A and B are shown apart, each in its own frame.
Chain A
Amino acid sequence: METGISLVEVIRVVQSTQPPLFQSLAVPLARSSLELAEIDLALVLDDPRLLFQAFKKAILIPEAQGPEFAICQILVERDGVEFVTPKAYIYLLNLLGDFATLGSVGAEWEQRNDVLQKRMKPSSKTPDRPYKLFSS
């Protein structure tokens, strides 16, 4: 059922607030985003830049770290995920890098490019080699 509630608008509201209200809103946002991602990832990846920016801003809040990382985990590990567009891929790697820097997760998470690249939409992948201009 379409509710007409825009997650992008909600994220914008949260992004526009300053601490300490931001801390109060970022945690429920992260938790609810995870719940929505578990239903359908497309619901949270409408605007990946905005979502990951909010996550990055809230990464130092311990209560927000769990759900944020769980969304990353869904994107990296769940089979059949087809929403890792090149745009989302950059933001996801960036966030995982932040987690690794914080020491919240092992550094190997930062090295998941191989897994993520397989999840990217084939049409958006850079060709392995340049096109042949002249056939020999």
Chain B
Amino acid sequence: MAALLERVTIGGSESAQDTSALSTPNLKARDGAMNGPESQEKAYDPSMLFLLEMATCLAIRDATSMRDLSPEVSGYCTEILRQRKHLHPLFVERTLIYLLALKKRGHETVI
């Protein structure tokens, strides 16, 4: 799971050799205001979204996976939300959905 989540980086394929920078999103997107026309310029990488969605699906699969995986996935989601200014709005939106899906499933799950 950690290996999967570590691939959730902007421009992951470009920086794949640089393992030291994998644990945090690579902030290659331009600095500046998040919203407005600037957000159009932020790179959108569907593979990041795919990996995060897969990680979330694996985490919410059953009670055991919730216990074992959800803290890590939710940690990544929270970090992505914190760094929202540098990320594509679509990615931020989906991350919010995944985080709240984890919360919901957590409260539905009785261990």
Contact = CB atoms under 8 A, between A and B. Distances in A.
Do A and B associate with each other?
A: yes
B96 A39 contact: no
A80 to B, nearest CB: 18
B34 A10 contact: no
Contacts, number: 88
B81 A10 contact: yes
Given A10-B99, A28-B93, A2 B106 contact: yes
Given A1-B110, A2-B106, A20-B39, A29 B74 contact: no
Contact of B35 (A3, A17, A28): A17
Contacts of B106: 1-3, 5
B66 to A, nearest CB: 6
A4 B77 CA distance: 12
Contacts of A25: 92-93, 96
Contacts of B109: 1
A36 B107 contact: yes
Given A3-B74, A10-B99, A13-B81, A24 B93 contact: yes
B93 A32 contact: no
B107 A39 contact: yes
Interface string B80-111: 01101000011011001101111110111111
A1 B111 contact: yes
B5 to A, nearest CB: 16
Interface in B2-48: 33-36, 39
Interface string A17-54: 11111101100110010011001100100000000000
Contact of B89 (A4, A24, A28): A24
B100 A32 contact: yes
Nearest to A7: B103
Contact of B107 (A1, A13, A17, A21): A1
Looking at A4, A7, A20, the one whose CB has the most chain B CB atoms below 10 A away is: A4
Given A20-B35, A24-B93, A3 B102 contact: yes
B49 interface: no
Given A13-B81, A25-B96, A3 B89 contact: no
A36 B100 contact: yes
